[in-house]
């Protein structure tokens, strides 16, 4: 597989990272990833991302499946038992609400976690070559995939914005 | 590592004295790696207690359930008292991590991780008690809904099966919520560690790397976890309360049980948070993170839950009198004056009267006072379970079948000690191997680093 060129900029200050994002967007250069040690709203806004990801559709799917599973289990087992007591419905509605509710939550949570793992392509054994260990601690980072022609321009934008380190890698 | 980047000052109620992201990692992870001699002493004592509990249960399995002092009509005895008590303790973790998260109560930041861990350990221990009470524990799989040749299924119309479903769902959801919150922190440890530690934490961090898309998907999942855990936490103790309320036993058959039990559960859970966190902040030198303001806010929440619990006690008794049911009226009169009356009055004082002192700021901000109130509320809540569960069974309709559960046998004491020891043992192990305070959440609370141009 052909190797891709990338430029990684490491920043100590958020305002400089944001100015680099603005600079790259102005030049219509696609940003591959912006790293930070925690969630930062300003980064999301600078990248123009929606507040919520597509994970919520996984949750909704799990919730509907869970609700149906719980109710089915209660109804099916009651139908199997066939213990008819005078005046009581063989398949009661109210007691089915509780397994329905609990399975609704349980399966929705499984799907939420599954969605998170799927969307982030986790678990993953190896980290990408461009990843810097400081990204999870106290530094911010920008990764831009580029060609031989525009790598120089990307490096200049990152350096001019205040990156404390800019490096070019192949991965 | 490069230069240190200072961020400026944090807000008064937030983490104090931490001006860089690096200092957050250094303090929280430093305490984890080097907890000090007192930690090991506590771990050894808790470990000894776990052995006492394990031996007691082993003896009961070998000898039979007769070694416990449970007998007709008080067949649930101390084991179910312990079960409900521990389920209750489990409630504050999700309250703090999910409900306060949705309400944007920022003071939860430094205590949410420990409270979630407390929840998981408490539910695990609670789940042991129905097994302990089962006698023939090896037949527990009969409760699971699996196809079998006898065509027998658990009865999903029974509150006891509701309970199995609710507790196992709560344990699973609490664990996954806690683990999801841990993933970014595990990645931080991975990136700071070398050798075996790097590989172990790397395995459990699942390849986390904190890019913008990772954080967006994580934020969505965390919000939805909180949104799903919030109704769940309300439902769990409601379902536990229906174990009782759906029976026709005087003292149990009441419509207020669900909110009453939920408030009581959160009451005891918050008290346990105080009992755990006050020593923990000292042992791990977290005074600047778990500040007096945070503990004071827990105290204020205990005032609220204490008032709800006190109101519920009054309403129960009022309804027993106002409803005019003879057996119900006799049950509540017996509670106040009969065999368990000392437990009843202890419950009233510890749960409803003692928290009133928290109205005084001086008490709310005093560590010895908060710690003592935490212990008293926990004692009171244990007695509340005894009064409701055992007291009601002991004095039903027919005087011929009245009888009392005299006191726990030595085996029951051993198991009770074992349960508390296991709880503290697991918590201490958690504090040694995982960050007890969420690194990324604390980082969110300190100002971001900005350089003036």
Average pLDDT over residues A93-98: 89
SS3 sequence, chain B?
CCCCCCCCCCCCCCCCCCCCHHHHHHHHHHHHHCCCHHHHHHHHHHHHHHHHHHHHHHHHHHHCHHHCCCECCECCHHHHHHHHHHHHHCHHHHHHHHHHHHCCCHHHCCCHHHHHHHHHHHHHHHHHHHHHHHCCHHHHHHHCCCCCCCCCCCCCCCHHHHHHHHHHHHHHHHHHHHHHHHHHHHHHHHHHCCHHHHHHHHHHCCCCCCEHHHHHHHHHHHHHHHHHHHHHHHHHHHHHHHHHHCCCCCCCCCCCHHHHHHHHHHHHHHHHHHHHHHHHHHHCCCCCCCCHHHHHHHHHHHHHHHHHHHHHHHHHHHHHHHHCCHHHHHHHHHHHHCCCHHHHHHHHHHHHHHHHHHHCHHHHCCHHHHHHHHHHHHHHHHHHHHHHHHHHHHCCCCHHHCCCCCCCCHHHHHHHHHHHHHHHHHHHHHHHHCCCCCHHHHHHHCCCCCCCC
A40 and A67 share one domain? no
Residue A74, in any domain of the structure:
yes
Q: Which of residues 281-340 of B touch A (CB under 8 A)?
A: none
Nearest CA in chain A to B199: A125
Quick check: B32 and B432 in contact, CB under 8 A?
Answer: yes
Nearest CA in chain A to B445: A38
Residue A124, in any domain of the structure:
no
Q: Point out the residue among B184, B207, B232 whose CB comes nearest to the CB of A127.
A: B207
A124-171 pLDDT tens trace: 988 999 999 999 998 999 999 988 888 899 999 999 999 999 999 988
Look up the CATH number of the domain holding residue A10.
3.30.70
Chain B interface, best mutation among A24, A126, A136, A161, by max B CB count within 10 A: A136
A1: pLDDT confidence band, cut at 50, 70 and 90? Answer: low
Query: Given this model, what pLDDT does residue B31 score?
Result: 83
Q: Point out the residue among A47, A99, A125 whose CB comes nearest to the CB of B165.
A: A99
Q: What is the CA radius of gyration of chain A?
A: 25
Distance from the Cα of B438 to chain A's closest Cα (Å) equals: 11
SS3 sequence, chain A?
CCCCEEEEEEECCHHHHHHHHHHHHHCCCCCCEEECCCCCHHHHHHHCCCCCCCHHHHHHHHHHHHHHHHHHHHHHHHHHHCCCCCCCCCCCCHHHHHHHHHHHHHHHHHHHHHHHHHHCCCCCCCCCCCCCHHHHCCCEEEEEEECCCCHHHHHHHHHHHCCCEEEEEEC
Domain that holds residue A64: 55-119
Chain B interface, best mutation among A6, A20, A39, by max B CB count within 10 A: A39
The C-alpha atoms of residue B375 and residue B383 are separated, in whole angstroms, by: 13
Taking contacts as CB-CB distances below 8 angstroms, the residues of chain A near B151 are: 80
B277-287 pLDDT tens trace: 999 988 888 99
The answer to whether A133 contacts B191, with C-beta atoms less than 8 Å apart, is yes
Residue A66, in any domain of the structure:
yes
Q: Which of residues 393-452 of B touch A (CB under 8 A)?
A: 440-441, 443-444, 448-451
Query: Given this model, what pLDDT does residue B273 score?
Result: 92
A113 and A77 share one domain? yes
Mean of the per-residue pLDDT values for chain A? 91
Query: Given this model, what pLDDT does residue B6 score?
Result: 52
Q: Point out the residue among A16, A98, A122 whose CB comes nearest to the CB of B162.
A: A98
Taking contacts as CB-CB distances below 8 angstroms, the residues of chain A near B172 are: 106, 109
Average pLDDT over residues B402-409: 89
The answer to whether A38 contacts B444, with C-beta atoms less than 8 Å apart, is yes
The answer to whether A12 contacts B3, with C-beta atoms less than 8 Å apart, is yes
Query: Given this model, what pLDDT does residue B102 score?
Result: 86
Q: Point out the residue among A34, A105, A121 whose CB comes nearest to the CB of B232.
A: A105
Quick check: A119 and A54 in contact, CB under 8 A?
Answer: yes
Residue B148, pLDDT > 90, answer no
Q: Of the segments A139-148, B82-91, B349-358, B437-446, which one has the largest average pLDDT value?
A: B349-358
B342: pLDDT confidence band, cut at 50, 70 and 90? Answer: very high
Quick check: A54 and A61 in contact, CB under 8 A?
Answer: no
Residue A79, in any domain of the structure:
yes
Taking contacts as CB-CB distances below 8 angstroms, the residues of chain B near A138 are: 5, 20-22, 25
Residue B224, pLDDT > 60, answer yes
Taking contacts as CB-CB distances below 8 angstroms, the residues of chain B near A127 are: 207, 209
ipTM of the complex: 0.94
Distance from the Cα of B46 to chain A's closest Cα (Å) equals: 33
The C-alpha atoms of residue B74 and residue B331 are separated, in whole angstroms, by: 14
A136 and A112 share one domain? no
Taking contacts as CB-CB distances below 8 angstroms, the residues of chain B near A81 are: 153, 155
Residue B17 burial (CB count, 10 A): 11
Residue A110, in any domain of the structure:
yes
The C-alpha atoms of residue B349 and residue B381 are separated, in whole angstroms, by: 11
Residue A65, in any domain of the structure:
yes
Query: Given this model, what pLDDT does residue A100 score?
Result: 95
B364: pLDDT confidence band, cut at 50, 70 and 90? Answer: very high
The answer to whether A131 contacts B209, with C-beta atoms less than 8 Å apart, is yes
Q: Which of residues 110-129 of B touch A (CB under 8 A)?
A: none
Query: Given this model, what pLDDT does residue B30 score?
Result: 86
The answer to whether B228 contacts A43, with C-beta atoms less than 8 Å apart, is no
The percent of residues in chain B predicted with pLDDT above 90, rounded, is: 67
A47 and A67 share one domain? no
Which two three-digit tokens encode residue A130? 């461009």
Nearest CA in chain A to B238: A98
Query: Given this model, what pLDDT does residue B7 score?
Result: 53
Residue B13, pLDDT > 80, answer no
The answer to whether A39 contacts B221, with C-beta atoms less than 8 Å apart, is no
A61 and A108 share one domain? yes
The torsion angles phi and psi of B340, rounded to 5 degrees, stand at: -100, 20
Which two three-digit tokens encode residue B64? 């039979």
Domain boundary pick from A80, A96, A119: A119
String of b and e for B296-322 (b: at least 16 CB within 10 Å)?
Answer: bbbbebbeebbebbbebbeebeebbee
The answer to whether A115 contacts B221, with C-beta atoms less than 8 Å apart, is yes
A25 and A74 share one domain? no
Residue A40, in any domain of the structure:
yes
The C-alpha atoms of residue B317 and residue B347 are separated, in whole angstroms, by: 14
Q: How many domains does chain A have?
A: 2
Mean of the per-residue pLDDT values for chain B? 90
Chain A interface, best mutation among B213, B223, B240, by max A CB count within 10 A: B213
């Amino acid at each position: 597989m052909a190797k891709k060129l990338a430029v990684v900029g490491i920043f100590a200050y958020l305002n400089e990272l944001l100015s680099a994002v603005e600079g790259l967007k102005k030049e219509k250069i696609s940003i591959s990833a912006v790293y930070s040690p925690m969630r930062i709203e300003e980064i999301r806004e600078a990248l123009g991302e929606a507040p919520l990801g597509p994970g919520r559709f996984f949750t909704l799917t799990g919730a509907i499946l869970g609700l149906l599973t719980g109710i089915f289990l209660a109804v099916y087992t009651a139908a199997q038992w066939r213990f008819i007591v005078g005046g009581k419905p063989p398949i009661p509605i109210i007691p089915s609400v509780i397994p329905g509710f609990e399975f609704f939550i349980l399966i929705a949570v499984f799907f939420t976690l599954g969605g998170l793992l799927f969307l982030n392509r986790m678990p993953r054994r190896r980290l990408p070559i461009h990843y810097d260990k400081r990204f999870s601690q106290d530094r911010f980072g920008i990764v831009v995939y580029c060609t031989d022609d525009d790598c120089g321009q990307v490096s200049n934008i990152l350096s001019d914005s205040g990156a404390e380190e800019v490096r070019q890698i192949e991965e | 590592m490069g230069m240190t980047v200072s961020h400026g000052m944090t807000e008064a109620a937030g983490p104090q004295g931490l001006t860089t992201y690096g200092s957050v990692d250094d303090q929280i992870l430093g305490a984890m790696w080097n907890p000090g001699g007192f930690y090991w002493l506590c771990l050894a004592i808790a470990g000894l207690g776990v052995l006492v509990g394990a031996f007691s249960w082993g003896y009961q399995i070998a000898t039979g359930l007769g070694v416990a002092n449970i007998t007709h009509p008080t067949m649930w005895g101390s084991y179910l008292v312990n079960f409900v008590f521990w389920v209750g303790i489990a409630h504050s973790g999700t309250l703090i991590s999910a409900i306060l998260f949705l309400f944007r109560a920022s003071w939860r930041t430094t205590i949410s991780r420990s409270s979630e861990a407390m929840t998981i350990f408490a539910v695990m221990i609670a789940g042991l008690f129905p097994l302990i009470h089962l006698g023939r524990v090896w037949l527990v799989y009969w409760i699971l809904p699996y196809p079998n040749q006898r065509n027998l299924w658990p009865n999903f119309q029974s509150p006891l099966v509701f309970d199995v479903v609710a507790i196992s769902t709560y344990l699973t959801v609490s664990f996954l919520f806690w683990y999801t919150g841990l993933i970014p922190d595990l990645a931080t440890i991975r990136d700071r560690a070398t050798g075996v530690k790097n590989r172990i934490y790397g395995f459990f961090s699942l390849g986390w790397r904190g890019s913008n898309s990772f954080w967006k998907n994580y934020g969505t999942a965390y919000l939805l976890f909180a949104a799903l855990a919030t109704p769940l936490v309300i439902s769990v103790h409601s379902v536990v309360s229906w174990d009782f309320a759906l029976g026709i036993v005087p003292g149990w058959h009441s419509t207020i049980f669900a909110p009453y039990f939920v408030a009581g559960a959160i009451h005891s859970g918050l008290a346990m948070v105080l009992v755990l966190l006050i020593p923990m902040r000292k042992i791990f030198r977290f005074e600047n993170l778990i500040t007096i303001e945070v503990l004071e806010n827990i105290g204020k929440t205990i005032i609220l839950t204490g008032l709800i619990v006190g109101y519920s006690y009054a309403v129960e008794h009022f309804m027993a009198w106002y409803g005019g049911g003879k057996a119900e009226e006799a049950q509540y009169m017996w509670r106040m004056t009969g065999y368990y009356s000392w437990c009843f009055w202890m419950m009233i004082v510890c749960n409803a009267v003692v928290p009133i002192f928290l109205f005084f700021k001086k008490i709310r901000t005093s560590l010895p006072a908060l710690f003592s109130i935490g212990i008293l509320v926990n004692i009171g809540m244990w007695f509340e379970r005894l009064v409701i569960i055992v007291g009601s069974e002991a004095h039903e309709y027919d005087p011929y079948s009245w009888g009392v559960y005299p006191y726990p046998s030595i085996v029951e004491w051993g198991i009770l000690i074992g349960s508390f020891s296991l709880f503290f043992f697991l918590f201490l192990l958690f504090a040694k191997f995982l960050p007890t305070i969420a690194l990324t959440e604390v980082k969110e609370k300190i100002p971001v680093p900005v350089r003036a141009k």
